[in-house]
Amino acid sequence: MDPFITCKELIEFLADYLDGELPAPERREFDRHLAVCPSCVNYLETYKGTIALGRAALCDPDEAPPKEVPEDLIKAILATRKRPAT
């Protein structure tokens, strides 16, 4: 039997591998596979790149929330406090 995990298995459990959640024997299998599979190395690197790019895009300082909230919305929220409880 082929002792190596397949590309499919590696990609399926990639997040666990990156999060350090794989038991040591499985982690060794991943490392053995990556040592001989350039395609999976490319997948791993671009997956990590995707996480980094996603975070950079979502946490973009150029996209900071506007400081102003419409005054009518503020007033509507404040008005909820004045209504008698139902």
Partner 1 sequence: MAASAPPPTPIGPPPDETGRLVVALRRGDPAAFETVVRDHSPALLAAARRILRNEEDAREALQDAFVSAFKAIGSFEGGARLSTWLHRIAINAALMKLRARRRRPETSIEELLPRFQADGHQVVPNEPWAEPPNELASRKETRALVRRMIEELPDSYRTVLLLRDLEELSTEEVARMLEVTPNAVKIRLHRARQALRAKLDARYRMAAAT
**Footprint of partner 1 on this chain (CB under 8 A)?**
6-9, 11, 14-16, 38-40, 42-43, 45-60, 62-63, 65-70, 73-74, 76-78, 80-82
Which residues lie below 8 Å from residue 7, measured CB to CB, with a gap of 6+? 33, 37, 39, 40, 43
Nearer to partner 1, 1 or 80 (CB): 80
Work out how close the CB of 28 gets to partner 1 at its nearest, in angstroms, rounded to a whole number. 18
Work out how close the CB of 31 gets to partner 1 at its nearest, in angstroms, rounded to a whole number. 17
Q: Provide the terminal-to-terminal Cα distance of the chain, rounded to the nearest Å.
A: 69
Q: How many CB atoms lie within 10 A of CB 41?
A: 13
